[in-house]
A and B are shown apart, each in its own frame.
Chain A
Amino acid sequence: MTSYLIKGVSVLGGEPADLLIRDGVIAAGGRADEVIDAEGLVALPGLVDLHTHLREPGREDAETVETGSRAAALGGYTAVFAMANTSPVADTAGVVEQVWRLGREAGLVDVQPIGAVTVGLAGKQLAELGAMATSAAGVRIFSDDGHCVADPRLMRRALEYVKAFDGIIAQHAEEPRLTEGAQMHEGKVSTRLGLTGWPAVAEEAIIARDVLLAEHVGSRLHVCHVSTAGSVEVLRHAKARGVRVTAEVTPHHLLLTDELAASYDPVYKVNPPLRTAADVQALRQALVDGVIDIVATDHAPHAVEDKECEWAYARPGMVGLETALPVVLSVLGEQWELIAERMSRAPARIAGLTGHGTDLAAGTPANLTLVDPSARRVVDPAGLASRSRNTPYAGTTLPGRIVATFLRGEPTVLDGKAVK
């Protein structure tokens, strides 16, 4: 195994120092086979994404575990969680083990499958959560993401059941009766554009219900892609009461607003939808305050034909792995300690993932990424490693460039390029 000396790197924005990587871990000292001049670069613990769609099995034309892993490594990630809405749905031990094995074979990031809460994501009957938990994939996070577990009794049972193996339910908060036919945020832009609205209350009502359920049964709840100022207030209240709830926000909800829908270009169609500037401000503040615990991409690749059409017929979602850190940098600035917490440590902690999100101290697994904060990059969809091109940032200049990423001491990215 090649050893690396990363010279003059600023760990989390600190004074330049040398980092030695040997035998998969951070080493205290000694010689190295390769030297990386890291002057001006910042080292972060490898990023952890609790929310991606890698589309395999089923839509390998949009993404595979391998192409999604490569996109993740290029974005500075060392672990990603793959949502269950594949075809077939990841609702059995067999499917989650397949995804987990594909991740191991790609070997670019640790791919952790998320299991479906209900059979076929249909919201009727619990999937075999225990079998997925004890499978080789060791599933701990369960989600019907893309669909809300809307039935309150089923949600209560799911929250209770996973306590047996320290599981957590990640809820896609969307009251389905309030969002039938919904195309974008309900507000003055949807009114002008004649697109059916997705009201903020459809998210807030489910979060309010779920934090009360989680409190009632003493379980852990994770809220996916929080998108409204009202949701932030519900979460703030729940956390103050001591409810064991965590929450994520996507990079696009921290930066973009519903005004972009005016082009009717479905590259801006996403679920939950882009909200107002006031929501964006509230989400940014909540991320700083810790009411929102983490940033998760909701990386959602789609084939060209699913986006190059009328808005109403397009599938919702945006790719995000390769632009997440630059977007967060543009929003938070160079607050490296905060970024490490929200994009690496806290997601690893929520998921119970060991070996990731740890400080770069001697003896810990060498999962890390090196960032050049002074670089600026114009996002070019054709240059993405993801198999899909549906980025909302085409032509946008974003700060920061991921120079290198290491997974257990092996480089997955060097000089800004994927190693394999």
Chain B
Amino acid sequence: MIKHLRSAADLDAETATLILDTAGEMAALAGREVKKLPTLRGRTVVNLFYEDSTRTRISFEAAAKRLSADVINFSAKGSSVSKGESLKDTALTLQAMGADAVVIRHPASGAPHRLASWVDGSVINAGDGTHEHPTQALLDAYTMRSRLGRIAGLRVVIVGDVLHSRVARSNVLLLSTLGAKVTLVGPPTLVPVDIAAALEPSTEVSYDLDSVLPDADVVMMLRVQTERMQDSFFPSAREYSRRYGLDVPRMRKLPEHAIVMHPGPMNRGMEIAPEVADSSRSTIVEQVANGVSARMAVLYLLLGGKA
């Protein structure tokens, strides 16, 4: 088993499949009266969050606690350099406290890579800058497999601000590893031209959402920050929504079986219409539940559990 999960590229198909299978076993546990496993008793998991992200932190916390680990939440909001302790000093502190795993959320891309060079324990990337969010990709893959029965051969369309999206990067890498075909859609300002060469050659790029929907098995809408407007990535929220938002008429173009995903938090009315978010195709609430199972599987396997 790998030691760190810094990028979805750390996972080969075999390892990723093992994590998804393990997540399935963990999910079965959620239906029981006693939801806890003793597996990680006596082990310490630190949630080191340099960005506010209540949903991701709670998800990791629930995952660690269900495995009986001791959980320390370390909120270190703000730049580590401009004020207070450096990341390295924080790492040495966590090392001295005997952290077996550090879950890190950080505004700087690559912070988990730096952290892994300073601690002995496992490092799990819970979102770094505009780089990656590999456990999100795992929970998304788990959700697709649960709903559609497979991943290999699926046509997955990811729509929105690919340039700044760590969710998109991790999903492209993981889904390609597992044999899905990914198409990225968004305005050209938000889809780097060389993304296929950068991540996975089989990735396709389209600027026309309507043309790709009829063949999609999965549509994943990314959160688009309205601030991007100020930097002229697109003219207005309305225009963005008209060209790239998933509304009811567009949803009707999807095949019968296709599902709609969103990593949350959503801008209802911007990238996704409320009727779509609340439709039976939507897996948004399931994704949250699956997040706990997927993160349990990652902690379990990285900290030396056996499947």
Contact = CB atoms under 8 A, between A and B. Distances in A.
A263 B114 CA distance: 8
A187 interface: yes
B80 A309 contact: yes
A311 interface: yes
Contact of A191 (B80, B114, B129, B194): B194
B81 A313 contact: yes
B109 A193 contact: yes
B111 interface: yes
B269 interface: no
A187 B110 CA distance: 17
A264 interface: yes
B82 to A, nearest CB: 8
A305 B131 CA distance: 23
Contacts of A305: 86
Nearest to B173: A192
Contact of A192 (B86, B113, B198): B198
A194 interface: yes
A188 B194 contact: yes
Contacts of B295: none
Nearest to B86: A309
Contacts of A189: 198
A363 to B, nearest CB: 55
Contacts of B109: 183, 193-195, 264, 311-312
Nearest to B130: A194
Most buried by A among B79, B88, B109, B128: B109
Most buried by A among B87, B110, B129, B198: B110
B169 interface: yes
A313 B192 CA distance: 24
Contacts of B128: 194
Interface string B238-263: 00000000000000000000000000
A188 B194 CA distance: 6
Interface string A120-162: 0000000000000000000000000000000000000000000
Contacts of A105: none
A15 interface: no
B76 interface: no
Contacts of B198: 188-189, 191-192
Contacts of B192: 191
A310 B110 contact: yes
Contacts of B81: 309-310, 313
Nearest to B116: A264
B195 interface: yes
Contacts of A194: 109-110, 128-132, 166, 169
A187 B166 contact: no
A313 B87 CA distance: 11
Contact of B114 (A183, A188, A195, A310): A310
Interface residues of B, number: 27
A166 interface: no
B230 to A, nearest CB: 12
Interface in A172-203: 183, 187-189, 191-196
B181 interface: no
A263 B6 CA distance: 12
Interface in B164-201: 166, 169, 192, 194-195, 197-199
A187 B193 CA distance: 9
Interface in B100-140: 106-111, 113-114, 128-132
Interface in B68-107: 79-81, 86-88, 106-107
Contacts of A188: 194-195, 197-198
A60 B26 CA distance: 57
Interface string A189-232: 10111111000000000000000000000000000000000000
26 contacts: A187-B194, A188-B194, A188-B195, A189-B198, A191-B192, A191-B199, A192-B169, A193-B109, A194-B109, A194-B110, A194-B129, A194-B130, A194-B132, A195-B130, A195-B131, A263-B113, A264-B109, A264-B113, A305-B86, A309-B86, A309-B114, A310-B81, A310-B114, A311-B108, A311-B109, A313-B81
Given A188-B197, A192-B199, 14 more contacts: A189-B198, A191-B192, A191-B194, A192-B169, A194-B110, A194-B169, A195-B131, A264-B109, A308-B86, A309-B86, A309-B87, A310-B108, A310-B110, A311-B109
Interface of B: 79-81, 86-88, 106-111, 113-114, 128-132, 166, 169, 192, 194-195, 197-199
